[in-house]
Amino acid sequence: MSEAVGADDRNEPTTSLDDVVHQKSRLGILAIVHEGRRVEFGYLRDALELTAGNLSQHLSVLEKYGLIHIEKGYDGRRGRTWVTSTRAGTKALRREVDTLRAIVNRVTGESA
């Protein structure tokens, strides 16, 4: 027990966070592709300041959990990889954002 923290504080919003979505690069990917945006691999790599290898790993995790759809194709003769959110991905991002809002409100002392 704490000296200063009451029982009302027990329901900690951070325990609802899902590591698959909360990890900062994956959160960044989902935030960029949300609302049906179709985003190219190179754009994500630059925007999120990741190496190609690192981005690939995060995309694999998100695809494995059904949160994004990956599409390989060509832009002229150059191979391209396109990423879109799935319905589950949009839902997971919305859940994460609701929890982040609860954390912000908790820390800043505002009511949810």
Query: Is 33:86 a contact under the CB 8 Å cutoff?
Result: no
Footprint of a copy of itself (CB under 8 A): 1-5, 9-10, 12, 14-15, 17, 19, 22, 24-25, 27-28, 31-32, 34, 37-40, 42-43, 47-49, 93, 97, 100-101, 103-104, 106-108
Query: Is 3:65 a contact under the CB 8 Å cutoff?
Result: no
Closest separation in Å from C-beta 16 to a copy of itself: 9
Whichever of 64 and 94 has its CB closer to a copy of itself, that residue is 94
Whichever of 53 and 107 has its CB closer to a copy of itself, that residue is 107
Q: At what angle do helices 52-64 and 24-33 cross, to 10 degrees?
A: 70
The single-letter code of the amino acid at 60 is: S
